[in-house]
């Protein structure tokens, strides 16, 4: 039997990149997945990929930063699968600038997607998790559930041009360690994975034309200059950027039964990058 057989996992930002890899990894281990993306097409494509693997999935389309999203996301799991076992707060993007050129809108956007959104999702999940734990305790059962929040080496060590992103990713570490203490009585472990340089559309090499993504009507520039990529890779002891599937493996560590007595921890998935 697969290690996550019958579990229900919510993975935000799972239509593309690392989130997609996480959703597929958990599905291969038997989990039923609530897929999320801003756009319907990539989310539905991942739903179909998961169904092709023999697991179950539904989509919850929308912006994680919307005030009502957390409630919708949690309710999608409860309505379709009857419970929640794993929450992965993965959705996010970067919107860079040095502090003297950064607008309030840029700063608040990173706060909303990287910190406020996970807070709202977890707040919405609190009562269903508490009720499930209370029922299981009355039956003499111990069921361990999992929360995995996503941070970055930028949140641990800072990164030039990313005061907004680094703030959000540092804040999620504090949320993780606090919720570990609040939710231990519900038999929920709360951990964090901080990514280094992982290959995604946000970190693609900039060639002759600057790549952009559309986020809630904003045209956000993404990508890294090719010469900087070489510099980053030289700083990584393993000598290369990570693949989304390798990032997903790190998240899976905290979702697996082997981590049932590990909580409040931050693991860096960065090929040894510690700067």
Beta bridge partners of 246: none
What is the distance between the alpha carbons of residues 42 and 257, in angstroms, rounded to a whole number?
30
What is the distance between the alpha carbons of residues 262 and 256, in angstroms, rounded to a whole number?
11
Task: Give the DSSP per-residue string, 25-49.
Answer: HHHHTT-EEEEEESSHHHHHHHHHH
Strands 86-89 and 145-152: parallel
165 catalytic residue (yes or no): yes
Rg, C-alpha atoms of the chain: 18
Catalytic residue of the set 165, 186, 197, 252: 165
Length of the chain: 275
Helices 117-138 and 69-81: crossing angle in degrees, nearest 10, is: 40
What is the distance between the alpha carbons of residues 28 and 244, in angstroms, rounded to a whole number?
15
Give the DSSP letter of residue 265.
Answer: -
Strands 188-195 and 145-152: parallel
What is the distance between the alpha carbons of residues 197 and 188, in angstroms, rounded to a whole number?
29
Beta carbons of 240 and 233 less than 8 angstroms apart = yes
Beta carbons of 202 and 150 less than 8 angstroms apart = no
Known catalytic residues?
165
């Amino acid at each position: 039997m697969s290690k996550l057989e019958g579990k229900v996992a919510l993975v935000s930002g799972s239509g593309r990149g690392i989130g997609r890899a996480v959703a597929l990894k958990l599905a291969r281990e038997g989990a039923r997945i609530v897929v999320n993306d801003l756009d319907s097409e990539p989310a539905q494509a991942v739903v179909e990929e998961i169904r092709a693997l023999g697991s179950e999935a539904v989509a919850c389309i929308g912006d994680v930063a919307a005030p009502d999203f957390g409630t919708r996301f949690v309710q999608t799991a409860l309505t379709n699968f009857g419970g929640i076992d794993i929450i992965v707060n993965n959705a996010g993007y970067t919107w860079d600038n040095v502090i003297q050129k950064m607008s309030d809108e840029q700063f608040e956007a990173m706060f909303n997607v990287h910190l406020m959104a996970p807070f709202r999702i977890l707040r919405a999940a609190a009562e269903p998790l508490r009720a499930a734990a209370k029922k299981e305790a009355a039956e003499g059962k111990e069921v361990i559930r999992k929360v995995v929040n996503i941070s970055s080496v930028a949140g641990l060590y800072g990164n030039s041009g990313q005061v907004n992103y680094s703030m959000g990713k540092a804040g999620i570490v504090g949320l993780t360690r606090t919720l570990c203490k609040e939710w231990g009585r519900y038999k929920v472990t709360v951990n964090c994975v901080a990514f280094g340089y992982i290959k995604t559309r946000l970190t693609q090499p900039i060639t002759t034309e600057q790549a952009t993504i559309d986020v809630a009507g904003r045209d956000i520039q993404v990508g890294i200059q090719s010469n900087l990529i070489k510099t980053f890779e030289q700083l990584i002891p393993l000598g290369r950027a990570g693949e989304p599937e390798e990032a997903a493996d790190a998240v899976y560590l905290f979702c697996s039964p082997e981590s049932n007595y590990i909580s409040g921890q931050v693991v860096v998935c960065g090929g040894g990058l510690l700067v």
